[in-house]
């Protein structure tokens, strides 16, 4: 079991790894021996995460990119191909949110969030599948949300996009499972990421109301989600395929 959790220097790409769940996932993967390719829009954040990983004895590379843009994903693919020739896994974590009822949601904002929450995963999967198929037991993990399964007030575009992530994941699993590529999604519940903390601090969301729906009675820490994400792209999970894994403290059973 412990051997199957080791990546032995193989390259793993993690988008949105400058902060929150993405950073925690990258740090866990580095601890498990992966060479993590850190991806985010802001180079300074990537440099900070890379320094932390290397201080802990891990390996990381950085590539600043906006994965909602097709051209940036192409450049990222070329960077990984040139540096490693292949990759073991991709964790599509980059995403954003916007709180507004649908009657107050502009077309521009809808398209902006769909681009980062759903289009980016399409771009990443399309461009990286050829590199993944060069590796043994490759995997894609798409980060969705419990809101792919349940509704949430004033988050129409986020819920729609994350539902799309889960459905897209299942479809890719049908096409690429026979070729040896595993594709899964992970659906985090309420997690104290910097973005969520910002909602609470700004009074845009009620932490008490959220916690009433979580059977464990608390928020997840980012590393609790990152640990599961890292497991799912490791060789310890080689028969997990086409799944939507809920990591929600019991939110969706309530």
Report the pLDDT value the prediction gives residue 98, as an integer from 0 to 100.
85
The residues annotated with a catalytic role in the active site are 158
Give SS3 for 71.
helix
Distance, in Å, from the CA atom of 33 to the CA atom of 8, rounded to the nearest integer, reads: 5
Contact 61, 35 (CB under 8 A): yes
Pick from 141, 150, 142: nearest CA to 251: 150
Contact 38, 26 (CB under 8 A): yes
Give SS3 for 103.
helix
pLDDT tens series, the chain, 254 aa: 999 999 999 999 999 999 999 999 999 999 999 999 999 999 999 999 999 999 999 999 999 999 999 999 999 999 999 999 999 999 999 999 888 999 999 999 999 999 999 999 999 999 999 999 999 999 999 999 999 999 988 899 999 999 999 999 999 999 999 999 999 999 999 998 877 777 777 776 778 888 889 999 999 999 999 999 999 999 999 999 999 999 999 999 98
pTM above 0.85, yes or no: yes
Spell 214-248 as b/e; 16+ CB within 10 A means b: beeeebbebbbbbbbbbbbbbbbbeeebbbbbbbb
Upper half-sphere CA count for residue 205 (Cβ side, 13 Å): 20
Give SS3 for 56.
coil
Contact 125, 77 (CB under 8 A): no
Report the pLDDT value the prediction gives residue 208, as an integer from 0 to 100.
84
Report the pLDDT value the prediction gives residue 254, as an integer from 0 to 100.
82
Report the pLDDT value the prediction gives residue 204, as an integer from 0 to 100.
67
Domain 3-189+221-245 has CATH 3.40.50.300: no
Using the structure block, give the residue that is written with the tokens 């289009």: 119
């Amino acid at each position: 079991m412990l051997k199957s959790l080791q990546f032995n220097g193989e390259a793993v790409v993690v988008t949105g790894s400058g902060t929150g769940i993405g950073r925690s996932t990258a740090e866990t993967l580095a601890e498990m021996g992966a060479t993590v390719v850190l991806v985010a829009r802001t180079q300074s954040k990537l440099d900070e995460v890379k320094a932390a990983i290397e201080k802990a004895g891990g390996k990381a590379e950085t590539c600043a990119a906006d994965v909602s843009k097709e051209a940036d994903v192409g450049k990222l693919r070329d960077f990984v191909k040139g540096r490693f020739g292949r990759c073991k896994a991709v964790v599509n974590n980059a995403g954003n949110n916007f709180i507004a009822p649908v009657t107050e949601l502009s077309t521009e904002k809808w398209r902006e969030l769909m681009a980062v929450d759903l289009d980016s995963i399409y771009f990443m999967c399309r461009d990286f599948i050829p590199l993944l198929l060069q590796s043994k037991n490759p995997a894609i993990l798409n980060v969705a949300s419990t809101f792919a399964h349940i509704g949430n007030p004033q988050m129409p575009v986020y819920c729609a996009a994350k539902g799309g992530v889960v459905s897209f994941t299942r479809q890719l699993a049908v096409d690429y499972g026979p070729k040896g590529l595993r594709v899964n999604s992970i659906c985090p519940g309420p997690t104290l990421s910097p973005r969520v903390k910002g909602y609470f601090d700004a009074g845009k969301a009620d932490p008490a109301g959220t916690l009433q729906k979580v059977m464990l009675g608390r928020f997840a820490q980012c590393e609790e989600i990152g640990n599961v994400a890292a497991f799912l792209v490791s060789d310890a999970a080689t028969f997990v395929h086409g799944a939507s894994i809920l990591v929600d403290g019991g939110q969706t059973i309530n």
